[in-house]
Structure 1
Amino acid sequence: MTASNPPAASPLTVFIEGIGLTGPGFSSWEEGRQQLTGLAPHIPQKTLLPSPMALPPAERRRAGAVVKVSLAVGHEAVAAAGLNVADLPSVFSSSSGDGINCHEICSALASSDRLISPTRFHNSVHNAASGYWSICTGAMQPSSVLCAYDGSFAAGLLEAMTQAVIDDTPVLLVVYDTDYPEPLRSKRPVPDTLGVAMVIAPRPGARSLARITLQDDGGLTSTAATTMSDAGLEFLRQTIPAARALPLLQAIAHKQAAALVLDYLDGTQLALEVASA
């Protein structure tokens, strides 16, 4: 008998069913799509965060920027996909959580009384956004919460793609970052809030926007990350970790086949192929 090599594993492939986007100068995927395709100029403006009306009044009053941005983009993506929000497993990913809340807690600890608000405390955990999501949607499906510093978008994307294929179910990915006030900003200069959400499915559907496939070797590469030609959008990509998604969003917006590389870990990037669904 002669030994035979095992069959090569199929490349990891998923389909994007819906997108949500909020950030400096755009408040929806449609506004962002116009700018990513050059149909409208990118005009930097402070991110406007809507009140999370899906939350009960008590929780709504306690919601900070992290909760507002993650709920906004999550709802937009699920609505675009036309799926039942309560049925979707989710992956939440952020480079460092709620910077504003962290600043307030540090300020309290540095004061004379050193008392921390209970609301500040329970919003300080990294899975706060995921918890509020389950409260407002009634979702009982599993939720993973990740942090990979500046590589948090790529880490979340890999996790969501893997879950979608292995569990054979659509998965909601929500990635977000908020700004840091001074003096923390001097050490972690994230200038503003940005969130992006995607519904990722293992097979195409009637509303599929694009097909995404990891390139060979699990998508890992040492090739430099793809940059944005627009200076304003490139500034966002470089300074807000969640905005590392912008090259992928631009490829989806153009509805054209593209090979691109996303920032991931130091010296290791994530290589993807994007095509029409």
Structure 2
Amino acid sequence: MSRFSAHIDGIALWSPTLPGWAAARSALRGEAPPADPPLPIPAPSQLPPAERRRAPQTVALSLAAAHEAVAACGHDPAQLLAVFASAHGDLPVIDELCRTLVHTPTLVSPTRFLHSIHNAPAGFWSMLTRNGQANTSVSGAAHSFAHGLLEALVQCEAEQRPVLYVAYDTAAVGALTHTTRSQGALAVALVLAPQAGSATSARLDWQLSPGAGDPPATRSPAAQTLSHNAMAPALPLFEALAEEQAARLRWPLSAHQSLDLLIAP
């Protein structure tokens, strides 16, 4: 199959134990321990105070990663295409809505319903950055990171424009813990560009391959502490980027096809 290329101009990773790419990079390289105690997810400072207080975890988490990645690359956020991916959406908000529907159905909050929609983080990003470009929200269960990354790579190649890719998931709570195993909070972000520039840190050569197989495994103790989050399949890519070494990674997209990635620093 054909092989294509994209360039990484911005990188971000945020979790309570790896709060930002600088801290994550050091921890993934084994140069520093994860944050202890874990830090709270930062409230989106760009929102008005009332909205900031109500912002759910997914919005705060994804915006923390998105803003860090864009700040690192220098691209105008208002001009970026954007792809957001999450396996489960905002599980705490969904649990809250379900409990309200069971006990006091007439008190369902329209605001909380808005926060439960899968593309809520993408919508907040568009409004805060005054971005009128197309954005896409992706969910693919256990393959969500790979499907979102493929969507961002395809848009970058097809449109020949920079694309922001943000992938995030939080912990299941309440009754959802019986059906959904995600734990902790993790968001990652990349700004992908069709051509190398002054901010480029790595090149991604990619293609679709037949067959599935297992997703790549994490190697560092810091990454393994996040292995129970639904977005943990992203971590091997960020380990490779932290180590600044060439690597080949492959993620299943389905039972019949995989995303094959070569990383060149």
Distance in 2, matches of 1:201 and 1:260, equals 20
* 1:60-99 equivalent positions in 2, closer than 5 A: 60-99=52-91
Look up the match of 2:233. 244
Distance in 2, matches of 1:262 and 1:29, equals 23
Distance in 2, matches of 1:101 and 1:20, equals 25
Check 1:262–1:235 CA distance in 2 against 1; reply closer, same or farther (3 A cut): farther
Look up the match of 1:173. 165
Distance in 2, matches of 1:61 and 1:39, equals 35
Look up the match of 1:227. 217
Q: For residue 4 of structure 2, what is the amino acid of its counterpart?
A: L
Aligned to 1:236, the other structure's residue is in SS state: coil
* Contact 1:92-1:156 at 8 Å conserved across structures: yes
1:263 deviation in Å?
4.8
Distance in 1, matches of 2:37 and 2:251, equals 25
> Are 2:96 and 1:104 aligned?
yes
Q: For residue 148 of structure 2, what is the amino acid of its counterpart?
A: G
Question: Could you tell me the TM-score, scaled by structure 1's length?
Answer: 0.89
Distance in 2, matches of 1:47 and 1:191, equals 15
* Contact 1:77-1:197 at 8 Å conserved across structures: yes
Q: Deviations over 1:209-267 (max 9, x none)?
A: 1111114xx14543432212234523523x21222111111111111111122354356
Check 1:113–1:96 CA distance in 2 against 1; reply closer, same or farther (3 A cut): closer
Check 1:241–1:116 CA distance in 2 against 1; reply closer, same or farther (3 A cut): same
* Contact 1:51-1:60 at 8 Å conserved across structures: yes
Task: Tell me the matched-pair count.
Answer: 265
Q: Which moves more between the two structures, 180-189 or 93-102?
A: 180-189
Distance in 2, matches of 1:265 and 1:24, equals 31
Q: Which moves more between the two structures, 37-46 or 152-161?
A: 37-46
Distance in 1, matches of 2:50 and 2:82, equals 24
Look up the match of 1:205. 197
Unaligned residue ranges in structure 1 (runs of 5+): 1-7
Aligned to 1:183, the other structure's residue is in SS state: helix
Question: Could you tell me the TM-score, scaled by structure 2's length?
Answer: 0.93
Aligned to 2:116, the other structure's residue is in SS state: coil
> Are 2:245 and 1:256 aligned?
yes
RMSD, aligned CA: 1.9
Q: Which moves more between the two structures, 182-191 or 73-82?
A: 182-191
Look up the match of 1:157. 149
* Contact 1:69-1:194 at 8 Å conserved across structures: yes
Unaligned residue ranges in structure 2 (runs of 5+): none
Aligned to 2:174, the other structure's residue is in SS state: coil
Larger radius of gyration: 1
Q: For residue 82 of structure 2, what is the amino acid of its counterpart?
A: S
Q: For residue 214 of structure 2, what is the amino acid of its counterpart?
A: A
